[in-house]
Amino acid sequence: MAKYMDMDTLRFLLFECHEVQKLLEAPRYADFDQDALNILLDSFKDFADKELYPYFREMDEQAAYYKDGKVIVHPQLEVVLKKMAELGLIGANYDHEDGGMQIPESIFYSLSHIMDSANNNVTGYPSLTTGSGRLIVTFGSQELKDTYVPKMIAGEWGGTMCLTEPQAGSSLSDITSSAIPTEDGYYKISGQKIFISGGDHEYCSNFVHLFLARIDGAPAGTRGISLFVVPKFRPTADGGLEDNDVFTAADFPKLGQKGYVTTHLVFGEKENCRGWLVGEPNRGLKYMFQMMNEARISVGVGALSIATAAYYASLQYAKERPQGRRLSDTGTKNVEADQTLIINHPDVRRMLLLQKAVIEGSLSLAVESAKYSDLVHVTEGEEHDEHLLMLEILTPICKTYPSEMGRVSISNGLQVLGGYGFTSDFVLQQYYRDIRITSLYEGTTGIQSLDLLGRKVTMKNGAALKLLAAKMQESIMAAMAYKELKPYAMDLGEKLKLAQKVIGHLLQFAAQGKFERFTADATVFMDFFSNITIAWQWLKMATSASKALSDNTGTQKAEFYQAKIHTMKFYYKYELPKTLSAAYTLVAEDELTIQKEEEILF
Ligand SMILES: Cc1cc2nc3c(=O)[nH]c(=O)nc-3n(C[C@H](O)[C@H](O)[C@H](O)COP(=O)(O)OP(=O)(O)OC[C@H]3O[C@@H](n4cnc5c(N)ncnc54)[C@H](O)[C@@H]3O)c2cc1C
CB of 446 sitting under 6 A from ligand 1 = yes
Which atom of ligand 1 approaches the CA of 522 most closely? 43
The yes-or-no verdict on residue 539 having pLDDT over 80 is yes
Are 393 and 402 in contact by the 8 Å Cβ rule? The answer is: no
Give me the long-range contacts of 242-248 (CB less than 8 A, separation at least 24).
243/272, 244/272, 244/273, 244/274, 245/269, 245/270, 245/271, 245/272, 245/273, 246/207, 246/209, 246/273, 247/69, 248/66, 248/69, 248/70, 248/71, 248/199, 248/200
Return the ∠ at Cα 52 (arms to 46 and 57), rounded to 5°: 140
Q: Closest Cα to residue 77, out of 43, 123, 132, 116? A: 123
Contact 102, 153 (CB under 8 A): no
Q: Would you say the CB of residue 440 lies under 6 angstroms from ligand 1?
A: yes
**Which residues, other chains included, contact 259 with Cβ-Cβ below 8 Å and sequence gap of 6+?**
59, 60, 62, 63, 64, 73, 74, 77, 121, 122
- Select from 160, 170, 227, 254 the residue to mutate for testing ligand 1; criterion: most ligand atoms less than 8 Å from CB: 170
**What average pLDDT score do residues 399-416 get?**
98
Q: Name the burial class of residue 304, with classes exposed (0-12), middle (13-18) and buried (19+) by CB atoms within 10 angstroms of its CB.
A: buried
- Residue whose CA is closest, atom 27 of ligand 1? 169
Cα 205 to Cα 130, 155, 240, 242, 272, distances in angstroms:
17, 10, 11, 11, 20
Q: CB of 302 closer than 6 A to ligand 1?
A: no
Beta bridge partners of 280: none
Instruction: State pLDDT tens for residues 63-111.
Output: 999 998 899 999 999 999 999 999 999 999 999 999 999 999 999 999 9
At 29, is the pLDDT very low, low, confident or very high (cuts 50, 70, 90)? very high
Q: Is the pLDDT of residue 328 over 80?
A: no
Nearest CA to ligand 1 atom 40: 447
Give the residue-averaged pLDDT of 151-174: 97
Residue among 261, 444, 515, 517 to mutate when testing ligand 1 (max atoms within 8 A of CB): 444
- CA pair distance 73, 78, nearest whole angstrom: 9
* Separation of CA 166 and ligand 1 centre (Å): 10
Q: Structural domain boundaries of the chain?
A: 462-588
User: Does residue 532 contact residue 576 with C-beta atoms inside 8 Å?
Assistant: yes
Alpha-carbon span 551 to 309, nearest angstrom: 32
Q: Which atom of ligand 1 is nearest to the CA of 166?
A: 26
Residue 516 has pLDDT above 70, yes or no: yes
String of DSSP letters for 98-155: GT-----HHHHHHHHHHHHHHHTTTTHHHHHHHHHHHHHHHHS-HHHHHHHHHHHHTT
Mean pLDDT of 386-396: 97
Residues with catalytic function: 442
Q: Residue 550 pLDDT more than 70?
A: yes
Q: Interhelix angle for 346-378 vs 558-570, to 10°?
A: 100
pLDDT of residue 331: 58
Region for residue 7 given its phi and psi (left: phi exceeds 0; alpha: psi -120 to 50; beta: otherwise): alpha
Angle between helices 522-551 and 459-479 (to 10 degrees): 30
**C-alpha distances out from residue 352 to 125, 315, 411, 419, 457, Å:** 31, 7, 11, 17, 33
Q: How confident is the model at residue 290 (pLDDT cuts 50, 70, 90)?
A: confident
pLDDT at 332: 54
* 328 vs 124, residue with greater confidence: 124
Q: Work out the mean pLDDT of the chain and round it to a whole number.
A: 96
pLDDT over threshold 90, residue 586: yes
Determine the atom of ligand 1 nearest the C-alpha atom of 193: 11
Half-sphere exposure of 557 (CA within 13 A, CB side): 3
- pLDDT, tens only, 332-377: 566 678 899 999 999 999 999 999 999 999 999 999 999 999 999 9
Q: Once rounded to an integer, what is the mean pLDDT over residues 562-585?
A: 98
Whether residue 447 has its Cβ less than 6 Å from ligand 1: yes
Q: What is the mean pLDDT of residues 112-121?
A: 98
Calpha distance 64→55 (Å, rounded): 13
- Rounded to an integer, the average pLDDT of 317-339 is 81
With the most atoms of ligand 1 within 8 angstroms of its CB, the residue from 176, 435, 441 to mutate is: 441
Q: What is the 600 CA–ligand 1 centroid distance (Å)?
A: 26
Is 212 a pocket residue for ligand 1 (Cβ < 6 Å)? no
Q: Following CA atoms 365, 371, 373, 379 in sequence, which dihedral angle do they give, to the nearest 10 degrees?
A: -140
Mean pLDDT of 562-570: 98
Does residue 329 have a pLDDT over 60?
Answer: no
Q: Is the CB of 520 under 6 A from ligand 1?
A: no
Whether the predicted pLDDT of 504 surpasses 60:
yes
Does the beta carbon of 163 sit less than 6 angstroms from any atom of ligand 1? yes
Supply the Cα-derived Rg of the chain in whole angstroms: 25
Question: Phi/psi of residue 141, each to 5°?
Answer: -75, 165
Residue 330: which pLDDT band, with cuts at 50, 70 and 90?
A: low
The alpha carbon of 441 and the centre of ligand 1 are apart by a number of angstroms equal to 6
User: What is the CA(440)–ligand 1 centre distance, in A?
Assistant: 6
The pLDDT assigned to 597 comes to 84
Distance 521 CA to ligand 1 centre (A): 19
Beta strand pairing status for 65-67 and 157-162?
unpaired
CA of 172 to the centre of ligand 1 (A): 10
Q: Please write the tens of the pLDDT for every residue from 210-262.
A: 999 999 999 999 999 999 999 999 999 999 999 999 999 999 999 999 999 99
Q: Where are the alpha helices (DSSP H) in 552-592?
A: 558-570, 578-587
Question: Is the CB of 556 within 6 Å of ligand 1?
Answer: no
DSSP SS3 for 5? coil
What's the number of CA atoms in the CB half-sphere (13 Å) around residue 203?
21
**Please, which residues bridge with residue 251 across strands?**
263
Q: Cβ-count burial of 184 within 10 angstroms (0-12 exposed, 13-18 middle, 19+ buried)?
A: exposed
CA of 165 to the centre of ligand 1 (A): 10
In the predicted structure, residue 301 carries a pLDDT above the cut 80: yes
Atom of ligand 1 nearest to the CA of 124: 8
**How many other β-carbons are positioned within 10 Å of the β-carbon of residue 425?**
9
- Is pLDDT at 389 greater than 60 in this prediction? yes
Residue nearest to atom 37 of ligand 1 (CA): 170
Average pLDDT over residues 558-583: 98
Ligand 1 atom with the shortest distance to the CA of 444: 47
The pLDDT assigned to 337 comes to 80
The fraction of the chain above a pLDDT of 70, given in percent, is 99
